[in-house]
Amino acid sequence: MRTTKAFTVIELLVTFGIIAVLATVAAPTYSKYRIRAKVSSMFTAASAAEFAVQNDYFNQNNSFAGITYSAGSQPFLIPQTSTISSMAISAGVITITGNSADLGGRSLVLVFTPSISNGEINWSCAITAAYVTYAPPQCQNTI
């Protein structure tokens, strides 16, 4: 008598069922991870604008009042990634608006506000309240 080695239909169905459950659990987690990475890139993009604000602050008699640049008016305000739709500075406050098409339909805004402490500029970061779960640890304040 000859025997053949093969998988039964039941074994195949169980295997496909397990894979389907794992995929169902993994997909939302992966999506959240991708959005977090994109928000992180928005956070990083603010560093050049922060440097410009700091430089202007000390060149304008220690005042943030005159530090205003419209979106795209300076090289450091031109988004280098498709995740950012615009960057602007108003009275030293940096506002970065995310591209909702690249962020899964989310209208996400990061705001960096300068403050002075012992002659140094410190930055506080805030994010759109609905999306605080996507923010880096140093940006847990909400708008």
Burial of 64 (0-12, 13-18, 19+ CB in 10 A): buried
The pLDDT, as a whole number, for residue 3 is 72
**pLDDT tens figures, 106-119:** 889 999 999 999 88
- Residue 78: how many other CB atoms lie within 10 Å: 13
Tokens encoding 59:
């060149």
**pTM for the full model?**
0.79
Q: Kindly report the number of other CB atoms within 10 A of residue 3's CB atom.
A: 5
pLDDT in tens, 22-56: 988 888 888 888 888 898 888 888 888 898 899 88
Compute the chain's Rg from CA coordinates.
Answer: 24
